[in-house]
Amino acid sequence: MPVPSKESKACERCGIDITQKRADARFCGKRCRENARNAIPGGTASKQREAYRDRKNSGARLRYHEVKELILPSRRVRYHANKDRYADARRAYRVEHAAGKAAYDRAYRAANRDVLAAKKSAWKKANRDAIVAKRRSYYAENTEKYVAWNNNRRARKLGHPHSVGVSERDWTRMLHRYGWRCTYCGCVPDVIHMDHVVPLNLGGRHAIGNVAPACPSCNSEKGDRLIVEWRRYRRRVGRTDLLAAA
């Protein structure tokens, strides 16, 4: 059976015959392909490359924005051709330098605590509606989870033999004694929480002797830790400003 002859093709860059290459080939080789990719109408690409070489050979400092148009196309091509290899390299780097990255992050947060807090507060104010909508949506999708959590918490309060409860009168008296301030950081929050000094899930009782007023931030950060454990956590993350008060 006769083999059909291929249609003659020429390299789009130099004009060499590439009939024997694969059907979708457009260039004779890598050099023509790169030259075509980096070409700019009017010959400006070659002029930029020459200027780049001259400055590099003269020892002048090269600015990224000056050579960006020359290096980005080849970088994009190399990245898209080796996406999996780059992803594996990033994962391996993160695993190998996990401890150093964690230490750097802790030091950065400790040195820029006020800046990060301001950014977080500004972001929350700018996205308040979206945050509220997301919380409501999550609650609607996980109602059973919240109900179970509240039931378990209520059972822990009532199940402890010494959980006599906290009356409104005793709680108000304690708030007046503390001046409506957080026990741990001393701020005067808009909303004050009732924190269990010994957490309920660690056997703490729900009584006036085991509760203290706390701001939402401190109460959330302390969570179900003992104060000693909270101090260790704050030292670990580089936040020692409240250790004396806590």
Query: Tell me, what's the pLDDT at 5?
Result: 55
* Residues 110 and 240 sit within 8 Å (Cβ to Cβ): no
All domains of the chain in start order, with CATH: 39-90 (no CATH), 142-236 (1.10.30)
Per-residue three-class SS string for 94-134:
HHHCHHHHHHHHHHHHHHCHHHHHHHHHHHHHHCHHHHHHH
Query: Tell me, what's the pLDDT at 52?
Result: 67
Query: Tell me, what's the pLDDT at 69?
Result: 65
Residue that the structure tokens 């308040």 belong to: 128
Half-sphere CA count of 46, side-chain side, radius 13 A:
5
The count of residues in the chain is 246
Query: Tell me, what's the pLDDT at 45?
Result: 56
Non-local (6+) Cβ contacts of 205 within 8 A are: 160, 162, 163, 164, 198
Query: Tell me, what's the pLDDT at 179?
Result: 92
Pick out the chain residues at pLDDT < 50. Answer: 1-3, 40-43, 243-246
Query: Tell me, what's the pLDDT at 80?
Result: 83
Query: Tell me, what's the pLDDT at 43?
Result: 47
Nearest to 197 by CA among 206, 185, 186: 206
Query: Tell me, what's the pLDDT at 18?
Result: 79
* Residues 143 and 186 sit within 8 Å (Cβ to Cβ): no
Which token pair is 143?
A: 């109602």
Q: How far is residue 128's CA from residue 123's CA, in Å, rounded to a whole number?
A: 8
Q: How far is residue 103's CA from residue 115's CA, in Å, rounded to a whole number?
A: 19
| DSSP notation for 137-187 | HHHHHTHHHHHHHHHHHHHHHHHSTT--B--HHHHHHHHHHTTT--TTT--
Residue 244 CA to its chain's centroid (Å): 30
